[in-house]
Structure 1
Amino acid sequence: MDVSPESPTLRVFVALAPPDDAKEELARALQPAYTMYPGLRWNRIEDWHITLAFLGELPRTAVPLLQSVLAGQAVSRPALRLGLRGGGHFDGRLLWSGIGGDLEGLHLLAADVRKLVRSCGIDFAERPLRPHLTLARSRREDPVSVPRAAAGLAGFVGRPWPAERLHLVGSNIARGPGTIRYRDIEAWRFGTAARAADDSASAGS
């Protein structure tokens, strides 16, 4: 992945991502909000993710070491069973969907990922884990759309799904106007997900 070829740095985070059908289920529930609040800056559905550790701007030379330790972390852990549910906002400006399911396992995974990153000599700002998908942001002159859109999502409960991969994600570093784009640097199957894929392949051969 090459987000910004001219830059020696990347903005990097470690995350989980819902499967496509779970994201599409939430997108259908958001259709009324898309219509009613077109002035919000809506995130692309392909960029929806659950951040476990936001590492900030790192030199590209740090990426191979992260890839090595995160690969080992993923293969040693089971896939978490999660789901999307409800909605809320931060400070009336950022709209999100909440996460349900194995939250204890999710917090343990995030804590272990953060320890691994620090063991690589990479320092980053420690933020409390508040599992969510960021869906949209409001403009300063619009203080009401995000809370109203969040209220419209309050009753949403999506189907459960296994979080099968751990993702190391990079973004372009937005130093001016324009939309931030996220792309996988690499993603690794969790241990149980990898074994299930192998079993399925064996059964079909």
Structure 2
Amino acid sequence: MTKTHFFYALTLPDETKELLQQTSERIKTEFPFKKWLHHDDYHITLAFLGDAPEEMRQKSLENVNVALAEVSKFELYLNGMGIFGYLASPRILWAGVDPSEQLFNLQKKVYTACEEAGFTLDKKPFKPHITLARKFIGNAFQLNRMQELADISNRTYRLQGATVTLYQTHLGQAPSYQPIATSSLI
């Protein structure tokens, strides 16, 4: 039996997902990755819960809703593309966002609400990004060439942070992430 995982994420507007899908299409051929995410799966992870028992998951939902009750919508700006892992063979290809105090505050509220529900969460610093692909399988990854093809580094793309979603993973499916519950910002 495959384990399922749950996570909270900032939901991206459809226009942003479409833009990132078009960007992925421009670079796919020259930069092959084992898995390209379905555009409906694009998000910014706020807290990864892992295998979440129902009772704890429900408590986290209650806590998150309370924590976000007076949080306002805010604007973010896409800011280029990058990788995690080795330059020659990256693990993750991502789109970034400009640093945002509102986003960091939102992540902290969601993270704390989940800890208060009993979850032990990753202690690594929050690095907001939107995963586009995983596991480079080509011969020679060239970051500069990929950024040139992607063509989002020198442009300003605005998006609104308006909804936090609890997702459940369904590995092997496309899209892989099923929305379970949402919390709208005011």
Q: What TM-score, normalized to structure 2?
A: 0.83
1:110 aligns with 2:104: no
Flag the structure with higher strand content.
Answer: 2
Determine which structure has more spread, i.e. the larger CA radius of gyration. Answer: 1
Partner of 2:91: 93
Equivalent pairs counted in the alignment come to: 179
* Pair 21,156 (structure 1): closer, same or farther in 2 beyond 3 Å: farther
Moved more, 46-55 or 142-151: 142-151
Per-residue CA deviation, residues 55-81 of structure 1 (Å, 9 max, x unaligned), is 222112322111111122222100121
CA contact (8 A) 1:138 1:146 kept: no
Q: What TM-score, normalized to structure 1?
A: 0.76
1:183 aligns with 2:178: yes
Q: CA RMSD in A?
A: 2.4
Partner of 2:53: 59
Q: CA deviation at 1:156?
A: 5.0
CA distance in 2 between counterparts of 1:53 and 1:146 reads: 31
Per-residue CA deviation, residues 132-159 of structure 1 (Å, 9 max, x unaligned), is 00000124x5353473534533625352
The percent identity for this pair of structures is 26
* Pair 60,80 (structure 1): closer, same or farther in 2 beyond 3 Å: same
Flag the structure with higher helix content.
Answer: 1
Per-residue CA deviation, residues 75-128 of structure 1 (Å, 9 max, x unaligned), is 21001211222000011221000012x611111111121111111122222221
Q: Extract unaligned runs of 5+ from structure 1.
A: 1-5, 192-205
Q: Spell out the pairing of 1:138-177 with structure 2 (5 A cutoff).
A: 138-139=135-136, 141-142=137-138, 144-145=140-141, 147=143, 148-150=145-147, 152-153=149-150, 155=153, 157-172=155-170, 174=171
